A and B are shown apart, each in its own frame.
Chain A
Amino acid sequence: MRTYIARRLLQGGLVLWLVSLLIFSLVRILPGDAVIMQLDQAAGPSPEVLARARHELGLDRAFLDQYRTWISAAVQGDLGRSLITRRPVTQELGKRINLTAHLAVLSTIVALLIALPVGVLAAVRQDTTSDYLGRLLAVLGLSLPDFWVATVVVTFLAIWLQWIPPIGFAPLWVDPARCLSQLTIPALIIGARLAAVSMRMTRSSLLEVLRQDYIRTARAKGARERAVIVRHALKNAFIPVATVIGQQFSVLLGGTVIVEFIFLQPGVGSLMLEAVVLRDYTLIQGAVLFFAAVIVAANLLIDLSYAWLDPRIRYR
């Protein structure tokens, strides 16, 4: 087990190094740079002034020189300063990660609360009205784009209830009421979509498990149907569901941009989008590297969770 973890960590390090190189190169291929992108439309500086501004930001240094400086600081936890705000990237990311993590966790909880009961119900009552309704809901959840649902919800809340979620993030441990009133509706919208995917996976996986011999044996031994489902089937069926949820959670951390924009909840997604638009290289690099690390770690945790879910799985 320890060898396996060590090997995975080494692989993760290699992945992160490749990601750093890739993102560092790619952002510099994009046309334009931070100096141009923050100019007011009315400004028309001369090429000399622009060159001076680029020099101040170090954008005129050789590629490898820039990379060496950045990566050597990054391995020590210093992701540099934003080219636009000049604040440390870790500080810029910190607050946004907090909001995004809140949103991702709440959305995942919503998704699980919907997906597990509906998926299980659809599987154990296959080809009944419950199953068809569950599948219909899943298709609806997959078909309706987040941005459309969010726009409709925010508009109708404003018109009918004269209310929309408050703006200005407060962490759950600081102001729980404000945090929940702020994030519940975005979490419901994101969670509903995530639930659709997870629900379909739960249903199909459970259907497969329910046809296994050991389930038949359990039933033959006289176990109650609820015990068969909960104790024997669900845990095994949950392995692919855990994979899907783990992947989706990583994606959620990476960004729920549109919903963030519409509900004015600035998380990491909108930060990264703005950084790309403004060509804020250090912020893009720092954010991408951070999320690569999160995804590597999340995948490792998911893989390790398989052993808990299914004791037959062994790591070498």
Chain B
Amino acid sequence: MKTILPSLALVVVLSVAAALAQEKSPDLPFAFAAPAFIKELDTKYPAQPPVPPSPPRYGGVLHFPAVIRTFDPTTAGYRPEFALVWDTLTEWEATWYFPEVQRTPVIRKTLATSWEMVNPSTWVFKLRQGVKFHNRPPVNGREMTAEDVKYSYELLKDKASYATRAALVKTITVVDRYTVKFELSMADPKFYLNVVDSLSPVIVPREAVEAPGGLAENPIGTGAFMVKDFSSGDGALLVRNPDYYLKDKDGRQLPYVDAVRLYFTKDGATESALFRTRQLDVMRVSTLDQLYALMKTSPDLQLYRVPSFGWGDYGLTMTVDKPPFNDVRVRRALSMAINREIVSEVINKGDAALYGPFPWALAGYTRRADYSYANLGPNYQYNPAEAKKLLAAAGYANGFDVELEWAEFQGWNFSDFAQLVARFYKDVGVRVKLKQLETSTWIAKAGGVQPFTQMLAAFSPIGAGPGFMDWVYIRYHGALPRTTNREGINDPKLDDLLTSWRTDPGDKRPALQRAIWDHLIKNVYRITTIVPPHYRVTQSYVHAGGNPYCWFPGYCSYEAKTAWMTDKAPARKFDKFAQ
């Protein structure tokens, strides 16, 4: 017995010490501190951050997280980071939150400098002259020409990652060394919006594709950075392309930094630790509490807190072509049964915006104050009594049983969301059976490749840029396959509106987009709730581009091209990735 006593005493002392340490802490649990923190963020970090000082400082190595398994657009799924190495014909300017985007989309002319519609099915693009591929064998810095555009489109347009948009291209013809002509399989008076970055084919040189190892071993493009070292699973080192063709608004050569180092991180705690130790300079933070913890230990960080355009919302997809969801009263009831304020509190401590059938901006709602219940209508307002009446009117006075599938997905909290939904639905008599899926299966179901049973907790289908085509047309048109229209929506009136939008040369599009919004909020083909904002943090020594709205470095390659680092930045070598 005597021998046990010292061990027990040690345990007791440790426990008491831990308890005392906890008692001393003056901090409130974060759930209670969140409203004050959000208010602080609103005032301290306005949506439009300060313009970076000028002139920029050249040099430095920028570090940020990324997920890339191979630098090869012919084999891998599309990754936004590819834009650092390869260019598309044009890029979006990141002014996606402004209404002007819808009438006069702001496009940066990268490889294409002008375009002309011969007729809605025939488009001619003029290419920038003097653009060179990276000066590496086997391409050795030769000039990019119209032949490369034709080759790249023919190579990539039927690949799964690019096919959504590029499949519209029936044939592509080289008119002269710097001119290409696109013949479309379907008339599109706004085709130039469908060759803008992200899901459009990048321009690759034939020699690199055909060299041993293909583009994975010879990742040669026209982009601002050249792959110097790719360390599978670890990260990659990309160095500045000295022959890059873009200059900033004052005529200075881009990019400003000497290199970017990508870390293939897989864990939020690791990313936070890397940021705290100044091994990451810019990163996305998933949740408000992660941001809070980070700001407590890195008080000098810079934050861009940007309302999400629509990526990463919390919603429910239903089999709208089958009972009971083929009855609009049921869909409205299920939408009304959800208290979106509570969803916002649980998912992100209240820091989230309401979300409708598609991005607010595409319906012309461009101010944060517009993101309101008033603009969503009664179907989005918490009203369990009305929900019960609607269910009774639809013949479900005693409710019904439904299976809700969901999965864990890094950075999101579908577990809590699915449980909340089940709780709300119980109140109106709908008995939810939750079914957790393995993440890969969930991705297949959310992508429309594999059918879901009845309901699926998932993001709304997204677009790669601010285009209405990506976000709405291909997601709701009844003629499109389940891989894009995953709910199987088949609504002739909606199809008419979408077709009118597609064939309109421009002026009526904003009004048509609003009419489609109004139609969708009445019919509730997808139950949407909230979308948390994007939090992008940067170290105090980094001016991460002049572009405040790029929340994810890869999506806006221009951000990496225009980022610069002050002399307070850590000195870093860039001979190889592991240094």
Give the contacting residue for A266; candidates B234, B269, B276; CB below 8 A: B234
- Determine whether the beta carbon of A178 is less than 8 Å from that of B232: no
Query: Inside 8 A of B279's CB, which chain A residues have their CB?
Result: 164, 167
- Determine whether the beta carbon of B199 is less than 8 Å from that of A129: no
Among B265, B269, B441, the most chain A Cβ lie within 10 Å of the Cβ of: B269
Given the interface contacts A132-B4, A136-B7, does A96 sit within 8 Å of B233 by beta carbon? yes
Query: Inside 8 A of B443's CB, which chain A residues have their CB?
Result: 32, 36-37
- Determine whether the beta carbon of B578 is less than 8 Å from that of A178: yes
B159 is an interface residue with CB less than 8 A from chain A: yes
- Determine whether the beta carbon of A261 is less than 8 Å from that of B3: no
- Determine whether the beta carbon of A131 is less than 8 Å from that of B3: yes
The proximity string for B residues 546-579 relative to A, scoring 1 for CB distances below 8 Å and 0 otherwise, is 0000000000000000000000000000000111
Given the interface contacts A40-B78, A46-B167, A266-B234, does A53 sit within 8 Å of B160 by beta carbon? yes
Query: Inside 8 A of B11's CB, which chain A residues have their CB?
Result: 136
- Determine whether the beta carbon of B232 is less than 8 Å from that of A86: no
B503 is an interface residue with CB less than 8 A from chain A: no
The proximity string for B residues 152-171 relative to A, scoring 1 for CB distances below 8 Å and 0 otherwise, is 00000011111110010000
Give the contacting residue for A44; candidates B164, B198, B232, B269; CB below 8 A: B164
A159 is an interface residue with CB less than 8 A from chain B: yes
The proximity string for B residues 321-358 relative to A, scoring 1 for CB distances below 8 Å and 0 otherwise, is 00000000000000000000000000000000000000
- Determine whether the beta carbon of B276 is less than 8 Å from that of A159: yes
A279 is an interface residue with CB less than 8 A from chain B: yes
- Determine whether the beta carbon of B233 is less than 8 Å from that of A270: yes
Query: Inside 8 A of A266's CB, which chain B residues have their CB?
Result: 232-234, 264
A7 is an interface residue with CB less than 8 A from chain B: no
Q: What are 9 sample pairs from A and B whose C-beta atoms fall under 8 A apart?
A: A37-B77, A44-B448, A45-B160, A46-B167, A47-B481, A168-B235, A264-B263, A266-B264, A277-B439
The proximity string for B residues 438-454 relative to A, scoring 1 for CB distances below 8 Å and 0 otherwise, is 11110110111110000
**Bound Cα distance A270, B264 (Å):** 12
- Determine whether the beta carbon of B444 is less than 8 Å from that of A36: yes
- Determine whether the beta carbon of B444 is less than 8 Å from that of A31: yes
Query: Inside 8 A of A172's CB, which chain B residues have their CB?
Result: none
B528 is an interface residue with CB less than 8 A from chain A: no
Give the contacting residue for B3; candidates A87, A132, A167, A262; CB below 8 A: A132
Query: Inside 8 A of A136's CB, which chain B residues have their CB?
Result: 7, 10-11
Interface residues of B (CB under 8 A from A): 3-4, 6-7, 10-11, 69-70, 72, 75-79, 158-164, 167, 198-199, 214, 216, 231-235, 263-267, 269-270, 272-274, 276-279, 297, 438-441, 443-444, 446-450, 459, 461-464, 470, 474-475, 480-481, 483-484, 577-579
- Determine whether the beta carbon of A52 is less than 8 Å from that of B7: no
- Determine whether the beta carbon of B266 is less than 8 Å from that of A270: yes
Given the interface contacts A43-B77, A85-B75, A167-B263, does A49 sit within 8 Å of B6 by beta carbon? no
- Determine whether the beta carbon of A154 is less than 8 Å from that of B273: yes
- Determine whether the beta carbon of A164 is less than 8 Å from that of B274: yes
- Determine whether the beta carbon of A169 is less than 8 Å from that of B234: yes
Given the interface contacts A31-B440, A262-B267, does A40 sit within 8 Å of B464 by beta carbon? yes
- 4 closest Cβ pairs, A-B complex: A168-B578, A266-B233, A38-B77, A44-B484
A43-B447, A266-B264 are known; give 16 further A-B pairs, CB within 8 A: A40-B78, A40-B199, A43-B77, A43-B160, A44-B484, A46-B167, A85-B75, A131-B3, A136-B10, A154-B273, A158-B272, A168-B231, A168-B234, A168-B577, A270-B266, A279-B440
**Bound Cα distance A96, B273 (Å):** 23
Interface residues of A (CB under 8 A from B): 30-32, 35-47, 49-50, 52-53, 84-87, 92, 95-96, 127-129, 131-133, 136, 151, 154-155, 157-159, 162-164, 166-170, 178, 261-264, 266, 270-271, 274, 276-279
**Bound Cα distance A178, B484 (Å):** 48
Among B214, B233, B470, B474, the most chain A Cβ lie within 10 Å of the Cβ of: B233
Query: Inside 8 A of B4's CB, which chain A residues have their CB?
Result: 132
- Determine whether the beta carbon of A42 is less than 8 Å from that of B463: yes
- Determine whether the beta carbon of A158 is less than 8 Å from that of B273: yes
- Determine whether the beta carbon of A86 is less than 8 Å from that of B483: no
Given the interface contacts A40-B199, A85-B72, A132-B3, does A264 sit within 8 Å of B265 by beta carbon? yes
**Bound Cα distance A274, B484 (Å):** 26
Query: Inside 8 A of A85's CB, which chain B residues have their CB?
Result: 69-70, 72, 75-76, 216, 232
Q: How many A-B residue pairs have CB under 8 A?
A: 205
**Bound Cα distance A23, B461 (Å):** 34
Among A45, A154, A155, the most chain B Cβ lie within 10 Å of the Cβ of: A45
**Bound Cα distance A136, B7 (Å):** 8
**Bound Cα distance A37, B470 (Å):** 20
- Determine whether the beta carbon of A157 is less than 8 Å from that of B481: no
Given the interface contacts A44-B483, A136-B7, does A264 sit within 8 Å of B234 by beta carbon? yes
Q: Which residue on chain A has the smallest CB distance to residue B74?
A: A86
Q: Which residue on chain B has the smallest CB distance to residue A91?
A: B232
Give the contacting residue for B447; candidates A41, A95, A274; CB below 8 A: A41
- What is the distance, in angstroms, from A176's C-beta to the closest C-beta of chain B? 14
- What is the distance, in angstroms, from B82's C-beta to the closest C-beta of chain A? 11
- Determine whether the beta carbon of B163 is less than 8 Å from that of A45: yes
Q: Which residue on chain A has the smallest CB distance to residue B578?
A: A168
**Bound Cα distance A30, B216 (Å):** 28
Query: Inside 8 A of A169's CB, which chain B residues have their CB?
Result: 231, 234, 578
- Determine whether the beta carbon of B449 is less than 8 Å from that of A264: no
Q: Which residue on chain B has the smallest CB distance to residue A95?
A: B232
**Bound Cα distance A31, B297 (Å):** 42
- Determine whether the beta carbon of B464 is less than 8 Å from that of A42: yes
- Determine whether the beta carbon of A43 is less than 8 Å from that of B7: no
- Determine whether the beta carbon of A164 is less than 8 Å from that of B277: yes
Query: Inside 8 A of B78's CB, which chain A residues have their CB?
Result: 40, 43
